[in-house]
């Protein structure tokens, strides 16, 4: 059922007040006055000759904020806030219908929404795996409608102030806003301008070797016919302190580009220096300008010209751009009039301070039945930064890139209430959040791509950022592979910070899962227990990822898809890890079919026993003690000497047709134990959980142990006293095809 929000947003815009004003400061300096205020958005056109670089605009004092994460939407209108669950595209359509206005003064926008659409919004458009870590937890969409929109026409050298007029607005409303604005601009600009990135702490999610290996993997997918091209990126990060707008100004002076953007989201800031237009709408006219092909600029004129000629003559870049042009023609064709989509320019050379680019222009005419939101949804995310076919390329990107991209390769710009929009592709873009700065660089990979060259291309694309923040990429050796914090890494090159409370105090937990030929057993039950433990131990949001896909990636990396394997998911305060090891049965290569138990002399009772915490030393020592004394497992006792479990397994004792599960104040609820108990019911057994002591176990008809790896094994002795065991029952339970 679609959510109707018109009842919440009933104050329509009747007109927009527009007035030319006199401002003598440079726009980049003027906008600085408001850069520290919530919702301030500056869209600034760098460069002199680019036809995209005519207008600068600044939005301040939001009267409406639209924020969404998945299907959770938060809309703030002045003092009122509503939170709903719906498709954000549906709600945006309603907002645009409610606040529709007319264009005035032929400005690109006089009233509308300014902000961003994150790349991760793709999960609401297509059914894609979620195997990348969302480390920032920032919105998928963040848009502001501002009370004041300041626009500078660089061609006419004129400033305009735009203020919406509301149906329920007071008569002196416009004058009060203007007066406050003029008072603000009379205040002096803050002189203290500084920022600091930690120069020697700039790290990437990849080493050079692992990035090159990912490119090789893409080429394997191309050879296999999965895709023709995919965009591969790496994210850098370091500590950050100071004013984000100061960094924005410094980047503007170093590398002017047609789509500079600054967004103050209070708990995060977006700084973009993009050269690439994603999509533009002016009434029915639609345009997109994909960029494919990059060469670095050189200080020597001869060498610089050589770089430009090499780019123009590159067959690889020509093929790459041609594929993306076809993809985008198809995308905008979904919402344009039949036969209106045309390629008006192909392989145009565009020149910037540090790079050359190849650009194509594609134009079309919007179907009268479609609107701006239909257009965005049809083309999002941009094909130039995914690959083609787009959906399969995005699946491969999720597989190979360790973290969600968020704003990177999403879109930034404006969507007006009067049928115009202009969005850039968010490349050369940084996010500042929680005293960290993140920025990504990448490129399109085709079969002819040279992995080492592609890696180098990411570096000169990020050269401006590197010059300011300086990178440091540690080399790491090969090893068995683990999935850690969103990426597959050699086990020996992974590390745990000594400040992680999982390392300091065992503050964390784990799940152990058995996989047979690539299929994890009882995954749903294990993840349910994982989530329950997470909620009990941690206050942060449960990771929203596809565990089956991650486990299969880890198994594949370790060549275990066709073998029995032990999967371990480890969660601590700062780390999430999945490992996969070949599993060999506890009784393999031994001349026995059952296990021998000894009672551990040190009883225990702790609430931590309810979970498989990383504080596992007690159980580890108990198991070590049992093996030292010639047994397979140690029986763990409660303080009242009742039986709890063994150091790795749950216990089930049988008396005729009754199965007894030891009752303990604190004991791990075993996934396999619960599955076996349900199977036993179908075998005609009564299930009872009650206190039981060693003397009771010695009188049992038989005893079995259960855990995720061994599944079910019988017990042959307790404290050196032999007991009967029923190996056939264990085998019958294993074969029973019953699932919870």
Distance CA 420, CA 106 (A): 11
Phi, psi of 259 (to 5 degrees): -130, 70
Residues forming beta bridges with residue 424, ordered by sequence position? 277, 412
Task: Answer whether 212's CB lies under 8 Å from 483's CB.
Answer: no
Distance CA 597, CA 359 (A): 72
- To 10 degrees, what angle do helices 372-379 and 315-333 make? 140
* Range list of β-strands (E), 154-188: 158-166
Catalytic residue status for 292? yes
Distance CA 514, CA 511 (A): 10
Distance CA 273, CA 427 (A): 7
CA 593 to each of CA 96, 200, 526, 551: distance values in angstroms, whole numbers, following the listed order: 70, 57, 27, 30
Segment holding 185, helix H or strand E:
helix 173-186
The whole-angstrom distance between residue 332's C-alpha and the CA centroid of its chain comes to 26
Largest CA distance in the chain: 98
Distance CA 273, CA 256 (A): 7
Q: Which residue in the list 67, 122, 276, 511 is annotated as catalytic?
A: 276
Comparing CA positions, the residue from 112, 119, 72 lying closest to residue 91 is 72
ω into residue 43 within 30 of 0, thus cis? no
Catalytic residue status for 516? no
Task: Answer whether 512's CB lies under 8 Å from 567's CB.
Answer: yes
DSSP string, 484-528: ETTEEEEGGG----TT-HHHHH--EEEEEEEEETTEETTHHHHHH
Distance CA 116, CA 137 (A): 15
Task: Answer whether 111's CB lies under 8 Å from 13's CB.
Answer: yes
Phi, psi of 595 (to 5 degrees): -110, 150
ω into residue 267 within 30 of 0, thus cis? no
Q: Which residue in the list 61, 67, 249, 292 is annotated as catalytic?
A: 292
CA 50 to each of CA 45, 352, 358: distance values in angstroms, whole numbers, following the listed order: 9, 10, 14
The tokens describing 409, both together, are 């390769």
Distance CA 205, CA 401 (A): 8
Give the active site residues. 276, 292
């Amino acid at each position: 059922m679609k959510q109707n929000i018109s009842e919440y947003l009933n104050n329509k815009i009747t007109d927009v007040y527009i007035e030319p004003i006199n401002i003598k400061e440079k726009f980049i300096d003027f906008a600085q006055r408001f850069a520290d205020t919530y919702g301030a958005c500056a869209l600034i056109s760098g460069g002199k000759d680019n036809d995209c670089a005519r207008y600068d605009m600044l939005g301040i004092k939001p009267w409406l904020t639209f924020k969404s994460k998945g299907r959770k939407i938060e809309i703030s209108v002045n003092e009122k806030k509503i939170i709903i669950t719906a498709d954000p595209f549906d709600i945006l359509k309603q907002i645009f219908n409610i606040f529709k206005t007319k264009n005035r003064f032929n400005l690109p926008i006089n009233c509308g929404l300014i902000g961003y659409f994150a790349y991760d919004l793709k999960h609401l458009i297509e059914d894609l795996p979620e195997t990348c870590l969302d480390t920032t937890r920032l919105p998928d969409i963040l848009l502001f409608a501002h009370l004041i929109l300041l626009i500078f026409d660089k061609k006419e050298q004129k400033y305009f102030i735009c203020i919406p007029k509301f149906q329920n607005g007071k008569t002196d409303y416009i004058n009060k806003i203007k007066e406050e604005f003029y008072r603000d601009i009379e205040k002096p600009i803050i002189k203290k301008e500084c920022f600091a990135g930690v120069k020697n702490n700039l790290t990437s999610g990849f080493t050079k070797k692992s990035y090159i290996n990912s490119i090789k993997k893409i080429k394997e997918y191309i050879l296999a016919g999965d895709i023709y091209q995919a965009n591969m990126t790496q994210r850098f990060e370091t500590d950050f302190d100071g004013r984000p707008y100061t960094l924005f100004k410094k980047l503007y002076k170093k590398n002017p580009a047609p789509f500079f953007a600054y967004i103050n989201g209070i708990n995060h800031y977006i700084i973009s220096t993009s050269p690439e237009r994603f999509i533009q709408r002016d009434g029915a006219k639609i345009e997109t300008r994909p960029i494919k092909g990059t060469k670095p600029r050189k200080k020597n004129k001869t060498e610089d010209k050589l770089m430009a000629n090499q780019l123009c003559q590159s067959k690889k870049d020509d093929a790459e751009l041609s594929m993306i042009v076809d993809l985008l023609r198809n995308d905008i064709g979904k919402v344009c009039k039949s036969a209106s989509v045309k390629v008006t320019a192909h392989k145009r050379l565009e020149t910037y301070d540090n790079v050359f680019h190849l650009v194509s222009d594609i134009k079309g005419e919007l179907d009268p039945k479609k609107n701006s939101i239909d257009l965005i949804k049809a083309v999002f995310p941009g094909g130039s930064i995914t690959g083609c076919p787009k959906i399969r390329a995005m699946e491969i990107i999720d597989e190979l890139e360790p973290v969600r991209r968020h704003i990177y390769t999403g879109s930034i710009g404006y969507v007006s209430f009067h049928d115009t929009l202009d969005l850039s592709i968010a490349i050369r873009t940084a996010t500042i959040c929680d005293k960290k700065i993140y920025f990504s660089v990448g490129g399109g990979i085709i079969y002819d791509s040279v992995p080492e060259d592609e890696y180098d291309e990411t570096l000169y694309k990020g050269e401006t950022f590197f010059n300011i923040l300086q990178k440091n990429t540690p080399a790491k050796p090969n090893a068995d592979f683990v999935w850690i914090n969103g990426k597959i890494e050699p086990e020996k090159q992974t590390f745990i910070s000594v400040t992680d409370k999982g390392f300091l105090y065992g503050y964390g937990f784990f799940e152990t899962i058995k996989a047979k030929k690539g299929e994890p057993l009882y995954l749903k039950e294990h993840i349910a227990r994982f989530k329950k433990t997470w909620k009990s131990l941690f206050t942060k949001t449960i990771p929203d990822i596809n565990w089956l896909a991650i486990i299969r990636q880890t198994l594949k990396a370790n060549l275990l898809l066709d073998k029995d394997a032990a999967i371990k998911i480890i969660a601590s305060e700062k780390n999430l890890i999945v490992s996969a090891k070949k599993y060999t049965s506890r009784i393999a290569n031994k001349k026995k079919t059952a296990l021998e138990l000894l009672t551990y002399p040190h009883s225990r009772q702790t609430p931590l026993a309810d979970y498989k915490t990383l504080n596992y030393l007690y159980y580890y020592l108990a198991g070590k003690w049992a093996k030292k004394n010639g047994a397979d497992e140690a029986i763990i006792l409660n303080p009242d000497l009742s039986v709890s479990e063994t150091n790795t397994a749950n216990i089930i004792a049988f008396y005729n047709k009754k199965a007894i599960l030891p009752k303990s104040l604190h004991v791990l609820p075993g996934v396999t134990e619960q599955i076996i108990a349900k199977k036993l019911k179908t075998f005609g057994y009564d299930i009872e959980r009650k206190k039981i002591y060693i003397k009771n176990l010695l009188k049992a008809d038989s005893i079995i142990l259960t855990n995720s790896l061994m599944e079910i094994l019988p017990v042959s002795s307790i404290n050196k006293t032999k007991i009967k065991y029923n190996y056939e029952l264990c085998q019958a339970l294993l074969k029973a095809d019953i699932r919870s």
